[in-house]
Structure 1
Amino acid sequence: MRTFFFYDLETSGFSARYDRIMQFAGQRTNDELELIGQPVNLLVRLTDDILPSPGAVLTTHITPQMTVADGISEVDFCRYFLERVATPDTTILGYNSTRFDDEFIRHTLWRNFHDPYQWAWAEGRDRWDLLDVTRLVRALRPEGINWPTKRVAETDQLITTVNLVDMAKCNGFENDNAHDALADVKALINLAKLLRQSQPTMWRYLLDHHDKHSILSIITPGQPKPFVYASGRYSSSYQKTTVATVIAEGRTPNSYLVWDLRYDPVDFTSLSEAEILSNLTADRATRRQDDFVPVPIKELSVNKCPAVAPLGVLDAASETRINLSRAEAMKHYHQLNSQAGLIKRLTKAWRKRPAFPPASDVEGKLYDSFTPKSDQAKIRLVAAADSAGLADLHPNFTDERLDELLFRYKARQYPASLSESEEERWRKFRRVKLERELPAYLSELSKLASSPAADQFILEELQLWAESITPVDY
């Protein structure tokens, strides 16, 4: 039987590579969204080389000391997640989870010698993200749902928002403890029920078409045709939804370059490859200028649950909401098909965009490459070993990343497994890391302390945490 597992995280910062999960909460339901079992609410211990973002802690009110007192280790969290959450035939879902929470899960598993990917696809499992689903429902079939609004300060424009807290308040299932993972999970389940009850046909369609193969059947990259697409990259002024079409393969596997058919390609035919590249890489200040028109392309990743639908779902009311008619989209689609030179320049410019700088630290190198098959059995041995076993375990890894990861894994999770030389190496590692990070951390604490609105108790706890983990002669 297929089940859903709704989940949310609170973390020590925004970087999945280097920050940590501090709270994990979740609830399993059946496909009717009826609760199965009890909710899960876990704190995960921070180790003594981690300085959390003070801003993040002020938001969540979860201090490092709370995780130490009441939390479980990352090792135990990974085992719990793999054994109790990522069970066969489970759809694991959240709200903005493909961009944020799932990345933290991957990197946590990677650091702790578990496969970072299989939880999301093996044994009938998959993942889903309701954020863009909610955006697409708002654009196409909003009836039966109250949509909260907010005013944009810069433009004084009133727009609708799909912020989870606001959606909860506006629809009668108020989230009384925003930025608490369990409260957000409860709100998300209620939102899912609302979407399903208000728009059952669309709910079922998007549920049945969130996997990679179903997405490909809609966007048809082999013979591209227009499709409706909701994404946070699009403007709120048209419900973050447009009509798009594939023009080329993207830079990464499972990704495709798409053109926003809201825009007439003829307006861009005079641009050279260099001009397109300059536009794509323009800085924030340039993009905010009134006369700046972005080249309307972006990458769509079919393995990240994009919210897409066939063009036929765009009725007259939806055309008004997204300020784009099917006729206009089709006109631009046919014009684009006659612009082979423009498509070639767009594709070449997109692929010339500077890549993200490579991670300098091993914990950020998850996506550098897959681990070789020759190391996979050794990785499983590490994950299964206790402290005594790790002390005597000396795997001859082929992957050069894994030796350093193993050292840090032992130091953080099984310090008794370290030899004397490894203990000294860990002391040096912590010293260098904390000396690098402490000045910015303490500066942020000082700035926040000057605000009368800041929670002074939490700031004091963060100061004490820094003092407790800082080398004595710092």
Structure 2
Amino acid sequence: MFAFYDLETTGTSPAFDQPLQFAAILTDNDLNEAERVDIRCRLAPHILPAPWALAVTGISPDQLVDPDLPSWFEFSHQISDLIKRWAPATWAGYNTLAFDEEFLRQSFYQNLHPNLYQTQFANNDRLDLMKVIYAVRDREPDALKWPLDDLGRESFKLDRLAPENGFANHDAHDALGDVEATIHIASVIRKHAPAVWDQCLLNRDKHEVDRLLQSGHPVCLIERFGAAQPRSYFGVFAGTNPQNNNSVAFLDLDLCDASIIDANDQDLAKAVAASPKLIRTIAINKAPNVFPVANPRSAHGSLAQLVSAHPEFHQRVGQALANRYADKEPAQHVEQLIYDRFYNAGDKRVLEDFEVADWRDRAQIVAQLDDLRLKQLGMRLIFSNAPEFAPKKYRSAASAAIRDRWLTKEPSTPWTTKAIVEKQLHEIVCGEVLNMDQICALQDFYHARISEIDI
């Protein structure tokens, strides 16, 4: 079964924005529809949505505060229940691994779910149709028609690809419309590029990907960067990050020779970080576009055999992957600590109790947590959903924290601020993106929301 899904959100930051709409269609393996859902939620009190996000999605201010809609907390549990009910399934979408799934994980994290990785558990797996599109463009370009953008370049945006390939009445920027368009594109690929489709399905399984890479034979990796065309890179497995078994090294066989085996650690660090990349990082658990090479070039085959015969080289490259971000600045905000560490068994049991309790009891349950991240998020949940059960001192501190975030003058904040709202509203007005009634509704909404927290 496939579970195609899409989210519409308050902005582009998974950590500091939230989903507002979740749509999904369950299909059989032949992509015939079995069930569909389309749910929305209201805005969380601590989030200031980006005006451009509302303008693009068409979500009105009235929808944001509609009391008949579920809270973000309730919405996250509706999605969680659906994932459990539809399991096992392949959770698929367009650019889902980089965007939608990160929003799902943040929804589960910030709403205190015991499991953040629900699309990977209970025999679920994942597939990103945007990656499949890149593979089709590189290996079977005649399988699809390729639209052009406003600058005359080939476009890989769903709202251009789907209509170009026979999908009529695409309601772009609506979650359900994008899901329907994605299924249509998947059906075209399955019919006209079956070999690419089948290999991409194999790549859902990280163990299959790992076996292909660790065979020591040359493989083809297809990736796209920026506005460039997707392209093939021919390489070989060169090590595993000792701190993350899902992160493996891919040595580009066109950019090196046998001397790479004797490179010192400093040169390997450069090879991992430099551009063009002599050594790429592949996340084997994110359905990468790796394809076996049936008849590798002689030079590729010889060099691949040499690399495969030097396990100590693999170890040094793996360590270079681990060292690359060793000096990275620690995250400053609780939302950014989602991957800081796994929950311990005791906290998972507490979170299970939190799920089924009422808000009065949840305030006491949060106090039992060891993980400071979860304590902080738990108190915010109580403040957002049942403030009467939050201590008065905490309510004052939480309101002040929201006010400080929204009114900060810092220009590079990862969340939407009053200054960003004013800038985007000005752009929307100047660009005549919305009519005057819509613009006035947005202006009134932001004025009321910001004024309330500014008191």
- Which range, TM-score by smaller chain? 0.7 to 0.9
Specify the alignment match of 1:382 in structure 2.
Answer: 354
Specify the alignment match of 2:245 in structure 1.
Answer: 253
Deviation at 1:225, TM superposition (A): 2.1
Deviation at 1:208, TM superposition (A): 3.4
Deviation at 1:270, TM superposition (A): 11
Deviation at 1:392, TM superposition (A): 4.7
> What is the root-mean-square deviation of aligned Cα atoms in Å?
3.1
Residues 340-349 or 15-24, more deviating: 340-349
Are residue 20 (structure 1) and residue 18 (structure 2) matched?
yes
Residues 189-198 or 328-337, more deviating: 328-337
Q: What is the alpha-carbon distance in structure 2 between the residues aligned to residue 382 and residue 196 of structure 1?
A: 43
Q: What is the alpha-carbon distance in structure 1 between the residues aligned to residue 141 and residue 427 of structure 2?
A: 41
Specify the alignment match of 2:430 in structure 1.
Answer: 451
Residues 185-194 or 258-267, more deviating: 258-267
Specify the alignment match of 2:411 in structure 1.
Answer: none
Change in 2 beyond 3 A, CA 1:233/1:266: farther
Q: What is the alpha-carbon distance in structure 1 between the residues aligned to residue 50 and residue 438 of structure 2?
A: 12
Specify the alignment match of 1:211 in structure 2.
Answer: 205
Asked if structure 1 preserves the Cα contact closer than 8 Å seen for 2:240 and 2:317, the reply is no
> What code does the residue aligned with 1:240 have?
R
Specify the alignment match of 1:236 in structure 2.
Answer: 228
> What code does the residue aligned with 1:106 have?
R
Q: What is the alpha-carbon distance in structure 2 between the residues aligned to residue 72 and residue 327 of structure 1?
A: 61
Summarize the alignment of residues 415-434 of structure 1 with structure 2, pairs less than 5 Å apart: 415-434=387-406
Residues 414-423 or 362-371, more deviating: 414-423
Q: What is the alpha-carbon distance in structure 2 between the residues aligned to residue 79 and residue 142 of structure 1?
A: 41
Summarize the alignment of residues 28-427 of structure 1 with structure 2, pairs less than 5 Å apart: 28-37=26-35, 39-69=36-66, 71-87=69-85, 88-150=87-149, 160-174=154-168, 176-220=170-214, 223-233=215-225, 236-237=228-229, 239-250=230-241, 252-265=244-257, 274=266, 277=269, 294-312=276-294, 326-327=297-298, 329-330=300-301, 333=304, 349-354=320-325, 356-393=328-365, 395-427=367-399
Q: What is the alpha-carbon distance in structure 1 between the residues aligned to residue 162 and residue 61 of structure 2?
A: 29
> What code does the residue aligned with 1:401 have?
R
> What code does the residue aligned with 2:239 have?
A
Asked if structure 2 preserves the Cα contact closer than 8 Å seen for 1:74 and 1:413, the reply is no
Q: What is the alpha-carbon distance in structure 2 between the residues aligned to residue 86 and residue 196 of structure 1?
A: 27
> What code does the residue aligned with 1:414 have?
A
Q: Name the SS for the 1:241 alignment partner.
A: strand
Q: Describe the superposition over 1:76-98 as per-residue Cα deviations: whole angstroms up to 9, x where unpaired.
A: 21221121234321221111111
Specify the alignment match of 1:318 in structure 2.
Answer: none
Residues 211-220 or 419-428, more deviating: 419-428
Q: Name the SS for the 2:383 alignment partner.
A: helix
Deviation at 1:197, TM superposition (A): 1.5
Change in 2 beyond 3 A, CA 1:430/1:150: closer
> What code does the residue aligned with 1:435 have?
L
Change in 2 beyond 3 A, CA 1:126/1:446: closer
Residues 84-93 or 100-109, more deviating: 84-93
> What code does the residue aligned with 1:330 have?
G
Deviation at 1:338, TM superposition (A): 8.8
Specify the alignment match of 1:287 in structure 2.
Answer: none
TM-score relative to the length of structure 2? 0.86
Asked if structure 2 preserves the Cα contact closer than 8 Å seen for 1:10 and 1:179, the reply is yes
Q: Name the SS for the 2:43 alignment partner.
A: coil
Change in 2 beyond 3 A, CA 1:276/1:212: closer
Asked if structure 1 preserves the Cα contact closer than 8 Å seen for 2:170 and 2:178, the reply is no
Change in 2 beyond 3 A, CA 1:118/1:352: closer
Q: Describe the superposition over 1:116-147 as per-residue Cα deviations: whole angstroms up to 9, x where unpaired.
A: 43412332222221221222123223444323
Q: What is the alpha-carbon distance in structure 2 between the residues aligned to residue 344 and residue 215 of structure 1?
A: 19
Asked if structure 1 preserves the Cα contact closer than 8 Å seen for 2:216 and 2:308, the reply is no
Residues 137-146 or 450-459, more deviating: 450-459
Specify the alignment match of 1:286 in structure 2.
Answer: none
Change in 2 beyond 3 A, CA 1:457/1:302: farther
Q: What is the alpha-carbon distance in structure 1 between the residues aligned to residue 317 and residue 207 of structure 2?
A: 26
Q: What is the alpha-carbon distance in structure 1 between the residues aligned to residue 428 and residue 11 of structure 2?
A: 19
Residues 362-371 or 138-147, more deviating: 138-147
Specify the alignment match of 1:438 in structure 2.
Answer: 417
User: Once the two structures are aligned, what percentage of the paired residues are identical?
Assistant: 26
Q: Describe the superposition over 1:328-352 as per-residue Cα deviations: whole angstroms up to 9, x where unpaired.
A: 6436545766999987876565444
Q: Name the SS for the 1:367 alignment partner.
A: coil
> What code does the residue aligned with 1:440 have?
A
> What code does the residue aligned with 1:229 have?
L
> What code does the residue aligned with 2:94 have?
Y
Q: What is the alpha-carbon distance in structure 2 between the residues aligned to residue 105 and residue 397 of structure 1?
A: 23
Specify the alignment match of 2:412 in structure 1.
Answer: none
Deviation at 1:179, TM superposition (A): 1.7
Change in 2 beyond 3 A, CA 1:214/1:345: closer
> What code does the residue aligned with 1:110 have?
Y
Change in 2 beyond 3 A, CA 1:214/1:270: closer
Deviation at 1:203, TM superposition (A): 2.3
Change in 2 beyond 3 A, CA 1:394/1:177: closer
Q: Name the SS for the 1:49 alignment partner.
A: coil
Q: What is the alpha-carbon distance in structure 2 between the residues aligned to residue 449 and residue 138 of structure 1?
A: 35
